[in-house]
Structure 1
Amino acid sequence: MDNQMKSKLFGVTLLTLAISVLPGCKLPGANSMKMSLPGIEPATSFYANGFPTDLRVDEQGHVDIHDFPRQYHFLTKKYVNSVNGMAERYHTVMPVYLPFTKAIDVDSMSDWDTDYASPDAPIQLIDVDPDSSEYGRRFPLSLSVTKTADQYRPRHLLQVYPTMGFALRPDTTYALIVTDETPLAEINYWQQDPQLGAVLGVASDDIQLPEAVSKTYQPLRDFLNAENLDPQHIVGATVWTTGDPVARFYQGAARIAEKAQQLDQLPVSNVEALVDYPEFCVIRGDVEVPGYQKGVVPFVLKGGQIEWDQSGAPIEQYHRTTEFVVTIPKDMTMPENGYPLLSYVHGAAGIARQVYERGDFDYYDLTRYPYYIAKEGEGPSQIAAQRGWASSGFGGHLSVDHLPEWGVATIPAGFNPFNPDAFSNNYVTITWEQIYFRRILQQLRVDPDLCPEADVGAGQTAFRFDTNNEVSMGQSLGVWGAALKIVADPKPYKGLILGGSGGTWTKTMNSSAIYRLGFNTLVVNQLPFQGFDDAHPFLMLAEWAFGATDLSLNMENMMKYPTKAPPDVIAFSGFHDEIFPDTAQRVTYMALGADLLGEDIGSKPNNTMMPHMELAGANQLAYPASQNFQTPYGDRLNVVMRYRGKNIALLNSGHEVMFEDDEIKHQYGCFLEYLSNGQPPIMSVGTLQGDACL
């Protein structure tokens, strides 16, 4: 080799080295989805082929997640086991993961979720089930990419979350596709993985697909053909089928309702007058209810599972006796069918008597919870009585009535992430107890001598309650019981009143910096600076394990996919709610399909309802409003209203607005009045408690 040739070769070598090592100077590289199809090559990563994927599902619907990452961590392993014990296909609220060899530039893509519900979007989540009534539906999406590897995720993992408030439908096949229109970071280019091309129908002489693999992707191939979409432009895809996470929950509710309806003798004792107020009498009693969770309550680290018999009914594990109260209005003669009933579900560390005790702030007592003591007799029972309604309270599962020795510690007992087997089942139990107790109230007869100032009516011998004219009300943790019993109970309710609501389990646990820090460090045992976003795989497991009682999923079933007459709904969102921040609350209202009525307090993305609720089609309405939501059973009122907290004991937190604000008391009082008169509720600007309605 002559000197001139050596010089040229040396120059080319130097240039190549310079390009490869200079900062910011990189050679173009191909970006492909990482595929390892069964029967073709063994998978080396949990995320290979994407997740969720029907490649992991057996003929019985069980999902194989044996290779989920970081199972040396005790709680991760525990959550994997919990999901393995109950998983029937995939949850309807979960992120989707696709692994790539290089980075997708999501920062340059739209951050408005509904842009991905378009057939022109570069990334789409599509209903590809030919038997689905929503075939071809595309979903709004939230996108993110992992920039560094961590203990759960590789680098360059695309994370796609269907916008929270939009659950997928049960027993339905979906596909996520990424097209080559998706922007890439740096100067890389797209290259379709040959295995992906093969499952999408791109001709290949080198890859022979196993029948099961080909069958998994058949719905997507058929959809692409029907839409005349070229599969060669698809650079990422996965196909999976959802299960029905609420089916057993609802089935159990129906069986428990049937059981209570057939009781020969009511399990009620010690019914007596308790206290008397100007507008109403309070009558207390004890009621025995069945329990269905195995183990020792409150199931701190183990136990809490529910067993089922061959007929599909939950198996009783215990009985317990708890207090209940009912209130009788004094200023209204009992209607022929009994008093309309406001059924109040207390929150964490609550008791049955809070239905009448939760009034305005009165004084501090640090020995009790809540540490601010309300004016007893001015709670929801008073508002109900002023409108001619009776009310009820019940000492629910994990309440202070249930576990008096635990006191305030019943709060973490109800939000205990250290036992995934019990977590969601605790809310199932809360709901089932309410459904059982409803049948008790339906059959209960109260001696008129226990409230002599009330008028039982001509020819009547006992006070009764009209559970065909019933409104459910809940605040904080009580929102789960109040809402879930409406959707799970075969018998409809007339109305629902909410305050201090949570959202999906993911958002409930990850909606504030404090919750995020606590869950990330104490539960997942990561360092505070390690990533803990909504799409984190541990949160995915948690959402999956707790799926039956996910609030947003059940709210959608209640209002958007009703199987019985849905209720009229009013909700009150407190500004600066330190328990369930706005980012969690608005997910619930999106799932409900609610409109925002009146002012949207707040000015930042994390403390407003709008424009986020617009993703679900919500409008901001001016007062008054009525019948704003269409259902197959007729139009309903379905709104959320915002208020600032006025309780100095809670630093003006918005969590308690339902008990503190006169305008709210007037609004839900009128809500009750319209319903008892058989009229569609009209929601107007609130004035003073007890004022006339429109």
Structure 2
Amino acid sequence: MRRALLPGIALLAACGTPADAPAAGPTVRMDFSRRDGFFTAPFPSDDLSLDGAIVLARWPNPARQRYVQGLIDLAARVRGFATSSTIYLPLTDAPDAAQLPSPATSVAPGASVFVLDLDRAELAPVTARWMPDGGPYGGSGLLTLVPVQGIPLRASTRYAAVVMRSLRLARGGAFSTSPTVTALAGGSDAGLSPGAASAYRAALQTLQRALVPTADIAGLAVFRTGDPVGELRAFLDDARARPLPAPAAPLLRTDVFPGYCVYQGTVRMPSYQQGELPFGTAGGGWSLTAEGRPRFARDEESRVVVTIPRRRATSPGALPAVLFVRTGGGGDRPLVDRGVRTVAGVSPTQPGTGPAMEFARVGWAGVSWDGPHGGPRNVSRGDEQFLMFNVANPTALRDNVRQSALETARMFDVASALRVDVSDCPGAMAADGSTTVQVSPTVLMGHSMGATIAPLALAVEPRFRAAILSGAGGSYIANVIHKLRPLAVAPLARVLVGYSGSGREFREDDPALALMQWALESSDPQVYGRHILDEPFSGDPRSVLVIQGITDHYILPPIANAVTLSMGLDLAGAALDQSTAELRAFTSLVDLLPLRSASVRPFPVSANRRGATAVVVQLPGDDLEDGHEAAFQTAEPKRLYRCFLQSLAAGRPEIVGADAACGE
């Protein structure tokens, strides 16, 4: 959990070294001239901020490695520092690594290293490590602080990352206060611009008010985070100002299944991705005009699929519908056809057994559409998951996700405006007996990449009441290090950044990964999570059901936890990650939940988070497919989300135990 300033760190002074001025000795390097190297002063730091833009011209890249230079250039175009990437504090001597705080102790009294929100007086949980050698893109002797993935720093907020003199040296003894800190406290600018010096002095004054004497501080970094969510909101506003995409002709029935009918049409969706599809090695990014407005690219034709239950609606008005993100669902029409596979990796043999069948059993419609690389928009006919998660082109990767999220949010209005003539669907009709049906996209559902996209849309479109996610994950850092399927990302990433053959392995505080996380975080679900439940931009908190398959080798626990923690979900039912042998190397979700004031709850669960129902449920997969596919392959996830939908329609969303039957 985040801790308030006075109870959280005021006691640090009592736990530290005496407040008398120390003799010169080992300390935090704070040479803001950076003449002897970029990492001879802390990073991030306001000395590198120029009117909101960050000056990264001297970030180490000795071999001018092309991919890393692209990340540097992409990060340099971000306004403000990262909320989810590594903080580096260069030290002149090695600290006692055993004394470095864990995420839990980094927000507890007595922490020798901490990150403080200067605007709200809150401590942020971080993982602290010692990095003797930062490699070609870092420096030497770096104390690293990584925000817990899933609990990013706040946007547009002033922070101080502080090293106390209570941190001991590995060889024994104490750190000294940096001469730069002493100079700043005495009124000198210490080589900083007036604005940066003022920011550092203000931070020292805030710490003084918290009863942390300057003489007890070895050194610090002071910086302001950017707003990784703001650009998506601005582009969505621009899209909303354009004419609403609408079918050029009435939707036509394509299939009749035992429980529902399928209708299809086309709309033209607004795209802001510049360049030529599929953006293999270039293009695919969003950009602004000279006036600072979103630059529109083109309209792209997309199929719209609507599924209607073969029954009379029970309530007047629009039929409740689930908007299903096609991307990541598997196959060409996953809403309709992604049922149980009987042969691993082979499409189901029985059409019509996808999620739409489950929706129809509880009286819900379904809506889906082709995203940026789906259906007719997949001009190369390549694998959609690799076209989306295009690690070879980070700009396209970032904006494939944001463009998909923008379209998802826009589809709320597109779907709401649809009128479907169901006179050719046996049994289907509105509550008043009419054969013209309107749908209301109340719930958003996504699987895998779709569950990466959905949280972004959920955060920026407050009219969605709830979400169902499966195979959900976040954090580019965690994805690079831990993703094993559909391919192991780390070996490829090592080649891309030039580590292949060097013997250097990734760890979460690696400088190349720090750049990637910063450059791409505006498409990372974890930076949107707080705006779904705890701090919505408008409207009420949304209810959320996350289904986590155990074991999911696409989304291993560090990746999955980045989404769970970001929204502050409770764990409902058993903690399977704790009892699964191959997952014991990872920190269990149960141990991380207290950082978000969350907990384990028994079934049933309702209204557990700010009046909303919001949980993750860990469920086993089957013996055929990876646990990633549990929501499709096994019966229990389907029962859970049917009951969730049924209770939501009744006005009180609930996650029920195994004894409840819904739509049987």
- Asked whether the equivalents of residues 453 and 525 of structure 2 are also in contact (C-alpha less than 8 Å), the reply is no
Counterpart in the other structure of 1:18: none
CA contact (8 A) 2:549 2:619 kept: yes
Alignment of 1:487 onto 2:459: yes
Q: Are residues 1:390 and 2:365 paired? A: yes
C-alpha spacing 1:152/1:274, structure 2 compared with 1 (3 Å): same
- Aligned partner of 1:23 in structure 2 is none
Segments of 5+ residues of structure 2 without an aligned counterpart are 1-22
> What is the letter of the counterpart of residue 26 of structure 2?
N
Residue in 2 aligned with 1:497?
468
SS of the residue 1:646 aligns to: coil
TM score, norm. by length of structure 2: 0.90
Does residue 598 (structure 1) correspond to residue 578 (structure 2)? The answer is no
Mapped contact 1:304–1:426 kept (Cα < 8 A): yes
CA drift at 1:181: 0.7
1:29, CA displacement in angstroms? 10
Q: Normalising by structure 1, what TM-score? A: 0.86
Structure 1 residues 83-94: aligned runs within 5 Å: 83-84=75-76, 86-94=77-85
Secondary structure of the structure 2 residue equivalent to 1:34:
coil
Write the deviation string for residues 264-319 of structure 1: whole angstroms up to 9, x where unpaired.
Answer: xx243472111111110011112211211110112111111223347765232122
| Structure 2 equivalent of residue 157 of structure 1 | 142
Residue in structure 1 matched with residue 201 of structure 2 by the alignment: 218
Residue 197 of structure 2 corresponds to residue 197 of structure 1: no
Partner of 1:75: 67
**What's the CA shift for 1:663?**
1.5
Q: C-alpha separation between the residues in 2 aligned to 1:439 and 1:541?
A: 36
Show the counterpart of 1:541.
515
**1:447 matches 2:421:** yes
The partner residue of 1:581 within 542, 549, 556 is 556
User: 2:60 is matched by which residue type in structure 1?
Assistant: P
Q: Distance in 1 between matches of 2:543 and 2:24?
A: 56
Q: 1:229 to 1:456 in 2, by over 3 A?
A: closer
User: Structure 1 residue 480: deviation in Å?
Assistant: 2.2
1:446 alignment partner, SS class: strand
SS at match of 2:287: coil
The residue aligned with 1:116 is 106
Correspondence for 1:186:
171
Match of 2:269 in 1: 289
- Which of 32, 46, 54 aligns to 1:54? It is 46
Q: Alpha-carbon deviations, 1:16-67, whole Å to 9, x = none? A: xxxxxxxxxxxx99322222234xxx52111122000000111x21110101
Alignment of 1:251-270 (within 5 A): 251-261=234-244, 266-269=246-249
Quote the Cα distance in structure 2 between the aligned partners of 1:226 and 1:277: 68
Cα separation, partners in 2 of 1:307 and 1:399, compared to 1, 3 Å: same
2:466 & 2:378 partners in 1: Cα distance?
30
Give the counterpart of 1:475 among 437, 447, 457.
447
- For 2:606 and 2:489, the matched residues in 1 are separated by 37
1:639 corresponds to which of 591, 607, 615: 615
Check whether the contact 1:104–1:156 (CA below 8 A) recurs between aligned residues: no
Alignment match, 1:19: none
Cα distance in 2 for residues equivalent to 1:148 and 1:80: 20
In structure 2, what is the equivalent of residue 554 of structure 1?
A: 528
SS at match of 2:589: coil
Q: Which residue of 2 aligns with 1:35?
A: 30
In structure 2, distance between residues paired with 1:377 and 1:138: 50
Determine helix, strand or coil for the equivalent of 1:429: helix
Q: Which residue of 493, 497, 517 corresponds with 2:491?
A: 517
Alpha-carbon distance, 1:187 to partner? 3.3
**What is the RMSD computed on CA atoms of the aligned residues?**
2.4
Shift of 1:401: 4.3
Distance across 1 between alignment mates of 2:547 and 2:329: 21
Off by >4 Å, runs of 4+ in structure 1: 206-210, 309-313, 349-352, 686-689
Cα distance in 1 between the residues matched to 2:283 and 2:104 = 42
The 3-state SS of whatever aligns with 2:123 is coil
In structure 2, give the amino acid aligned to 1:675: L
SS of the residue 1:322 aligns to: strand
Is 2:541 aligned against 1:566? yes
Q: Does 1:105 align with 2:96?
A: yes
Residues 607 and 226 of structure 1, relative CA distance in 2, 3 Å threshold: closer
Aligned-residue sequence identity (percent) comes to 24
Query: Of the candidates 241, 247, 255, which is equivalent to residue 230 of structure 2?
Result: 247
Provide, for residues 187-210 of structure 1, a one-character-per-residue CA deviation record: whole Å limited to 9, x for no partner.
Answer: 3542223123212x1588x96876
DSSP 3-state at the match of 1:190: coil
Verify the 8 A CA contact 1:349 1:407 in the aligned structure 2.
no
Match of 1:614 in 2: 594
Q: Figure out how many residues of one structure are paired with residues of the other and give that number.
A: 632
Gapped regions of structure 1 (runs ≥ 5)? 1-27, 365-369
2-side partners of 1:87 and 1:636: how far apart? Answer: 34
Please report how far the alpha carbon of residue 375 of structure 1 lies from its aligned counterpart in structure 2 after TM superposition: 3.4
- Closer, same or farther in 2 for the Cα pair 1:208/1:577, shift >3 Å? closer
Q: Please name the residue that 1:676 is paired with.
A: 649
Per the TM alignment, residue 332 of structure 1 is displaced from its structure 2 partner at its CA by 3.0
Report the counterpart of residue 230 of structure 1 in structure 2: 213
Is this contact kept in 1: 2:150–2:563, CA < 8 A? yes
Q: CA deviation at 1:478?
A: 0.4
- How far the C-alpha of 1:463 sits from its partner, in A, is 1.3
